[in-house]
């Protein structure tokens, strides 16, 4: 992957560059906003908000690294020795996806024991999904298994997680108030729509032979858009749900936080 500085056109370079900067800014300031706004919900919902802010904070760090790595690999002189690091995204997901599962389970309106049982199934599946996906995306043939097969193996836990979350979010709708129900229902759609982008992006990039500039650009932009939606938009929706539930739980809170 060396000497990439001549491989992208100016427009391709700028598109990826600005998308990565947009991703970094979105992650960083969603975190700042969520951390500072944590007192705008009742104490019982603050952990979910703090975890949502931590997800985007971890992602902000990795976007900073990805941005830097992209710059070094593509903007240097010809024959520069820097390679673009595909690993950052996977390290990021390894840390953030379990936390995303925790924040999702927190809004299901189920007891603590049921939450624990659910996470006991989802978190190992998430680790398997990410660890199996990496050799596929990095085009490695590990243990005699080819890259596309790693990708296919990663899809099994991926579909399992998505199925469980969708079913659980759907079941939780009955337990929510009318007002919260509409937002949780949107959260469910956001989950399917954003998680769906990852395998599509993965498969599109998979077909490339050697270095294909267009496939590279699509992969980076696709993953970045999916990340912003799956982490920032998702975390802000969790915050919104927490705020609505707070107002429903306590008339005093509603009175002090809202005008009407």
Angle at 112 between CA 111 and CA 117, to 5 degrees: 100
Q: Which residue has 């990095």 as its token pair?
A: 138
Residues 109 to 138 in contact with its own copies, rule: CB under 8 A: 109, 111-112
**Residue 6 or 156: which CB sits closer to its own copies?**
6
Torsion of CA 4, 92, 131, 157, to 10 degrees: -120
φ, ψ of residue 48 to 5 degrees: the values are: -60, -40
- The binding track of 133-172 with respect to its own copies, each residue x by CB under 8 A or -, is -------x--------------------------------
Contacting its own copies (CB under 8 A), which of 3, 7, 12, 25?
25
Contact 125, 165 (CB under 8 A): no
Instruction: Report if residue 98 touches its own copies, rule: CB under 8 A.
Output: no
Q: Give me the least distance between CB of 87 and its own copies, in Å please.
A: 4
Q: How many distinct helices (H) and strands (E) make up the chain?
A: 9, 0
Instruction: Report if residue 17 touches its own copies, rule: CB under 8 A.
Output: yes
User: Among 46-54, 116-124, 147-155, 161-169, which window interacts with its own copies (CB under 8 A)?
Assistant: 46-54
CA gap 128, 122 in Å, rounded = 10
Contacting its own copies (CB under 8 A), which of 3, 7, 12, 21?
21
Instruction: Report if residue 210 touches its own copies, rule: CB under 8 A.
Output: no
DSSP 88-139: HHHHHHHHHHHHHHHHHHHTS---HHHHHHHHHHHHHHHHHHHHHHHHHHTT
2: exposed, middle or buried (C-beta count within 10 Å: 0-12, 13-18, 19+)?
A: exposed
Contacting its own copies (CB under 8 A), which of 54, 172, 218, 246?
54
Nearest to 103 by CA among 26, 167, 184, 224: 184
- The binding track of 218-257 with respect to its own copies, each residue x by CB under 8 A or -, is --------------------------------------xx
Instruction: Report if residue 18 touches its own copies, rule: CB under 8 A.
Output: yes
Nearest to 130 by CA among 166, 105, 104, 100: 100
CA gap 98, 131 in Å, rounded = 13
Contacting its own copies (CB under 8 A), which of 52, 85, 176, 201?
85
Size of the site for its own copies (CB under 8 A): 56
Binding site for its own copies (CB under 8 A): 10-11, 14, 17-18, 21-22, 24-26, 28-29, 32-33, 35-38, 40, 42-44, 46-47, 50-51, 53-54, 57-58, 61-62, 65, 75-77, 81-83, 85, 87-88, 90-92, 94-95, 109, 111-112, 140, 256-260
């Amino acid at each position: 992957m060396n000497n990439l500085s001549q491989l992208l056109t100016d427009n391709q370079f700028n598109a990826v560059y600005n998308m990565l900067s947009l991703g970094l800014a979105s992650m960083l300031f969603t975190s700042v906003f969520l951390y500072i706004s944590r007192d705008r919900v009742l104490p019982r919902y603050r952990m979910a908000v703090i975890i949502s802010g931590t997800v985007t904070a971890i992602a902000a760090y990795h976007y900073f690294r990805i941005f830097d790595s992209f710059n070094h690999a593509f903007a240097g002189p010809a024959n520069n020795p820097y390679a673009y690091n595909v690993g950052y995204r996977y390290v990021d997901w390894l840390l953030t996806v379990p936390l995303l599962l925790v924040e999702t389970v927190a809004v299901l309106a189920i007891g603590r024991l049921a939450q624990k049982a659910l996470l006991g199934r989802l978190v190992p599946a998430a680790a398997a999904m990410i660890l199996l996906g990496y050799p596929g995306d990095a085009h490695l043939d590990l243990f005699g298994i080819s890259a596309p097969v790693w990708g296919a193996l990663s899809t099994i836990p991926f579909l399992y997680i998505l199925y469980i979350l969708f079913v659980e979010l759907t079941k939780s709708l009955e337990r929510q108030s009318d007002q919260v129900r509409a937002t949780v229902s949107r959260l469910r759609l956001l989950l399917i729509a954003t998680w769906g982008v990852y395998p599509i992006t993965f498969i599109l990039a998979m077909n490339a032979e050697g270095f294909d500039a267009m496939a590279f650009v699509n992969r980076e932009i696709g993953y970045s858009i999916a990340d912003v939606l799956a982490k920032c938009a998702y975390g802000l929706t969790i915050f919104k749900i927490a705020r609505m539930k707070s107002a429903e739980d306590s008339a005093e809170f509603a009175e002090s936080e809202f005008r009407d």
